[in-house]
Every structure is written in structure tokens, then in C-alpha cells.
Structure 1
Amino acid sequence: MSFRYLNPKENTKFKDRHTIKVEDRKQWYEKGKKADVGIIGLPFSKTSISYSTASEAPSTIRNALGSYTTYSGEKDEDYSNVTMLDYGDVPIHPTDTEETLKRLQVSVMEMLETEACEKSIILGGDHGISFPSISAFQQKYGRVGVIQWDAHHDLRNLEDGGRTNGTPFRSLLEAGVIKGENLVQVGIRDFSNAKAYAEYAKEHGVHVHTMQDVEEKGIRSIVSEEIARLKESVDMIYLSVDMDAVDQAFAPGCPAIGPGGLTAGELLTSVALAAKEPLVKAMDIVEVDPGKDVRDMTSRLAAHVMLRFMYT
């Protein structure tokens, strides 16, 4: 029997013949394939200090790519030639946190070993995924510099609860994966951190830029200066974007929302600026909680961050 309208093999989604969506340029990884950007999902949020469904974020951010086209009107340039390989999501162990962290690190390392892409995007998950992810890049490249957009230092002690989404950068520093002077924190927010962790950052030489610094110096100036400094002492630069760095008005779907953060424009502009540097090889996006989001606002912003990283 033939149908007049139904076609079980086709997607019935509306398609404009002149419009290419970002998701159209994404393929699933297969051996031998090459692309400009690799994507991997680390859907882990069981170590979040507050309740979070950030484990669902990789799928919602991927879905949000369907909201954007490959054409930049501001640059009058079509990026439809930029391709993506999606490595899928790492399966999480249901109860064993250390086993999960091992799986995350091994999986990111395996992605890098395929040498199929020049840049990598890691979709969390809570910020705890940055510890295994950055550890994998350190194994691959050597000296790693990190620019972290965040309201929080994420330098909490490990005695009160072990590894959580508040400890990744302390874990990296104490494991010797990164050096304090090679860690840059941008957007640290007032009344959001303990004095002990501000002092820990200072003692270890972490370059901390608060929201007051952003307001006084401008985020472009801060990022430009830090990129210029880092490139003299590291082998690669990794961007870590905690979406709670953004003001709650622009990113309501985060476990730790708050006022006084970055605007969406400041985040997008600064990520795009950093991504122009050839030493910037990877970026993670973390702390998107779809269960707390409003009309996928935060996932859509995260997807837009991906575009600013890819289309440079």
C-alpha cells in the first residue's frame, strides 16, 4: 500500500532548502572518519553537592543545536563546511563513583587517540567531569593551561564528602595535573565562596578574576591578557565553562544560580576570543540542569557557546 503523506523512513520536520542547521553537520563517529570538531558526552552528576539532573544535559544541548544555522550574519560567513563527529555518551556506573571517573578519563583519552578531530567539546554533567577530562588531555599534550568561567573556585576540600562538583580543580592541582599559575578563573562571584578557598587559590598562584574585575577591566581584556600569558608556558589550553558563571537571568537552568553574574553576551564574546588561539584545543560545558531550566534557555545558551568555540 502507498501513502499520500506518510513516509516511515523520513523525518517529517520542516526543512527549508536554503537553511543548514548546525545539527545537520554532525555525524556519529565511525573509524576512519575525520572532522573539525569532536563531541563527547560525560553525563555524570551524581557527585553534585545539590540535587541536579545535569546528567541529562548532553542530550538537551545536542538537541538545541537544531535551533541554530551555520550562517553568521555578523561575519557574513557560512560555516557549513565545519564538520562534527559525535562520540556519544560514556555509560555511567550506577553506584561506583571512582569507576565512573575512570571510565570518563579513559573515554576522553580514547577519543583523542583516534586523532580524528582538531578540537574537542566535552558535554557534562556537573563540574566534577573536568577532573578526568583535563587529566586525559594532560596525558595527551603535556602542560595544560585552563581558563575556567565560574561563579565558584571549585577548590573545596576532599575530606567533607570526597570528590564532588566542588572539587575538580583542587583535585587537578593536588594530583599535579595542572599548576596553579596555569589556572585562570573568570567571573568568580561575591558571596559565593568561602574565605579558605580564596586563600587556597592565592597560595597556589591561581589567577582569579572576580565579577568586579570583569566590570572594571572588561572580560575581553582579561581573556586576551591571560591567553597571551598562558601560551608562553603551556602546550595546550583547555576552556572550562561552568554555566553558573552566567547571571541567573540568562541561565536559569543551573543548580547554583545567582545574581550578579556574566551576561550571555560576555560569555559568548570571551569564549569566541579565546577559541581563536591555536593552542585552545578543547572546551567543556558543565552544570546545565535541564530539570530546572525554562524553555531550554540554558541549553540553548550552551549550544551557542559551542558555536562560538567551533566557528572561529
Structure 2
Amino acid sequence: MKNYRKPNIKSWQTSRSSMKQLYFHEKVDFLNIKHDEMPKKQEKLFAMLGFACDEGVRRNKGRTGASYGPEAIRQMLAPLANHFETSMTILDAGDVLWTEANMENTHNETTLCIAKLLQHHIFPIILGGSHDLAHAHYKAIKKIYPNKKIGIINFDAHFDLREVTDRGTSGTPFYQIAQENDVFHYLCLGIQKESNHRELFNRAEALKVQYVLNTEFTTKNKKEIYKTVNDFIDQVDLIYLTIDMDGFSSIYAPGVSAPSPLGFTPDIAMQTIQQISKSNKLVSADVVEVNPKYDIDNCTARLAARLIYHLLSCLS
């Protein structure tokens, strides 16, 4: 795995509290997927892996810079308070890097890394990076659970169901997944009509994609949203959760490749994450499209960090 980089301890260096572990960074241990012995199976074992790649955004003619997202998220996680149980293990498993514009090699190595974590009963949380990651991420889950019905829940303004004309992009991952699998279970929360043309809606209908528009993805409608989510979860064996930061209103997430002032809010996202976590079917997750190049006071990276913290809290 030539594109893999071991975890950088310096990413987590901030204020310390002696042996009390009062801060998140003091809770984090380190795992070199390439060389270290994998930890023994335990109930609460999580690993963060960076996907330092935004070639998919460049190919999709978006604003590049998301390759710096994983490091920015770590820096915003580090100083948060540690309220997690001592029995819970949180690992930094390093990064898969994008080199020489060869996104496909980066995807292959990302799939191998995620699959290795899943194989050893470690819950992966992938830090991105452009949303083409979803194609590699899904392949890893499918590799470990080939006979399971895998449902994808995507918090996003976009379907990302564009056809592949030459090579995959950040706009094609779910189309690629649909084409490569006989069964396709896909629920999108926060879809914006203004950001998806008619052909994409027609394709979503043809693929039997379920979705909730951003105008309906609000706390006011949370009962209906919970029903939609629970009905979807009942149809599948496992859930892969992917959160695209460009689905949030740019008030909360300005540092993304495709910002929108009319996205959804953190409260409904966090409530829905909690609902999904209760299902006991969630096996892997990612947070993508954090672009520090266009962020303001680290707002987007801070929100991504809080979402990951909240997810860990819900699963602990």
C-alpha cells in the first residue's frame, strides 16, 4: 500500500491533563494498518482513517481542497472534552493519500484499509476528502459482508448519480455502486432540487432511490423522517452512513466544494444520526467534502468534528 501513511502523532498534540484523559486527543491511540498487529476484538472499538483525496472533485469541476480535510477534522476533534468510557477504544489509523492524480489506485488502497478494519471488528469512520470515497467505501463493506443487504444512507444536497462518461468523479459514486450490484438500497436526506437536474431525478426514480428534500429535512418533520429512516433500515441487514458536508447550509458549513445557503441544519442531522445508531445495523460511516481552503474560522471542520463526536457518543 504505497499511498498509505501511518498516523501522525503531531496531529493530536494539544493541552494535556496528566493521566486524567480529560481531552479527546488523550483518548486516541494509534494504529499503523500496514505494519501493526491489529487489536483484539472488543465491543467498542473505533478507528478514524483519512481519505486525503479531492481528485474526484477536480474531475467534477468543483472547488478542490478537500484533501486537507482529514487533518483539519483531527485538529478540531483534538481539544474536545473526553466523556467516553474507559472501555471504549478510539484509534487514528492514518491516511490514504492521493498521488499523481491516480484516484483509482487511491480507491483500491482505501478499500483494502477499510476492509481490514471491518474484518477485525473495528468500526471505521473515514475522514474526507471528496465524495467519490463512497464507491471505495461501499466496496470494502461488500467485500467483508458479501451476502448481506447493505443500505446506504446519505446526508447530501446531491444524489451523486451522474453517469460515468470517462472516469469516476465525486458526482458518480452511487451510480457506480448501482451498476456494480444487483441490489441497490439508497436513501438520500437533504436533496436539493436546484442542485439536481431532471435527468438525475429520473435516474433516481428508475433506481428506486428514496429521498427527502432539504425543505422537508427539518426538525418540524422529524416524526416523518424517523419513519422513513426506520422503514428503510427494516429493508436491509447493514447500514453504511455517509455525510456530505455540502448538504448543510453554508451558514454552518462554508468550507465545501459546492456550498449552498439553503441546506439543512445540524440539529436534524444529529437527531437522525442518533436514530440510525439505535438500529444496531450501522457498520461504517464517513464524513466528506470538508474543504479547509474555503472554510471560515474552521466552521466546517468544527461541525464535522462534532458530528463524529456525536456519532461516537451514540454508538458508545
Shorter-chain TM-score tier: 0.7 to 0.9
Give the equivalent residue in structure 2 for 1:45. 54
C-alpha distance after superposition, 1:242-280 (max 9, x if no partner): 001100000011110011111122222221221222101
- 196-205 vs 224-233, greater mean Cα deviation: 224-233
1:145–1:178 Cα contact (<8 Å) kept = no
Provide the residue aligned with 2:8 in structure 1.
none
Query: One-letter code of the match for 1:183?
Result: Y
Structure 2 counterpart of 1:213, which letter? E
Residue 285 of structure 1 is aligned with which of 267, 287, 300? 287
- Pairwise CA distance, 1:177: 6.8
Q: 1:84 to 1:178 in 2, by over 3 A?
A: farther
Q: State the Cα deviation string for residues 33-53 of structure 1 (Å, max 9, x = none).
A: 255212111111112021311
2:119 aligned residue: 113
* Aligned match for 2:77, one of 65, 75, 85: 65
Kept in 2, the 8 Å contact 1:54–1:125? The answer is: yes
Once the two structures are overlaid, the 10-residue window that deviates more, 268-277 or 190-199, is 268-277
For residue 3 of structure 1, what is the aligned residue in structure 2?
A: none
Tell me how far apart the structure 1 counterparts of residues 183 and 73 of structure 2 sit (CA, whole Å).
Answer: 28
* 1:307 paired residue among 302, 306, 309: 309
Matched, 1:139 2:143: yes
- CA deviations 1:141-160 (Å, max 9, x no partner) are 2321011000011011111x
Q: Count matched residues.
A: 290
Residue 70 of structure 2 aligns with an amino acid whose one-letter code is P
CA contact (8 A) 1:104 1:133 kept: yes
Deviation at 1:15, TM superposition (A): 3.7
Of all paired residues, the percent bearing the same amino acid is 25
Counterpart of 2:23 in structure 1 is: 21
Which of 175, 180, 183 aligns to 2:180? It is 175
The verdict on how the C-alpha distance between 1:218 and 1:19 changes in structure 2, with shifts beyond 3 A counting, is farther
Deviation at 1:80, TM superposition (A): 5.1
Q: Which residue is equivalent to 1:269?
A: 271
TM (normalized to structure 2)?
A: 0.85
Cα distance in 1 for partners of 2:309, 2:89 equals 12
Unaligned runs of 5+ in 2: 1-11
Q: Does 1:196 align with 2:199?
A: yes
Rounded to whole Å, the distance in 2 between the matches of 1:52 and 1:135 is: 24
Partner of 1:36: 45
Corresponding residue SS for 1:191: helix
| Secondary structure, aligned partner of 1:209 | strand
Which structure 1 residue ranges, 5 or more long, are not aligned? 1-10, 72-77
On the 8 A contact 2:219/2:268 being kept in 1, the answer is no
Secondary structure class of the residue paired with 1:239? strand
Given that 1:106 and 1:136 are in contact with CA atoms closer than 8 Å, whether structure 2 keeps it comes out as: yes
Equivalents in 2 of 1:12, 1:86: separation in Å?
13
- For the aligned residue pairs, the C-alpha RMSD in angstroms reads 2.1
- For 1:305 and 1:238, the matched residues in 2 are separated by 15
For residue 55 of structure 1, the aligned residue among 67, 70, 76 is 67
1:89 to 83, 90, 95: 95
Amino acid at match of 1:166: G
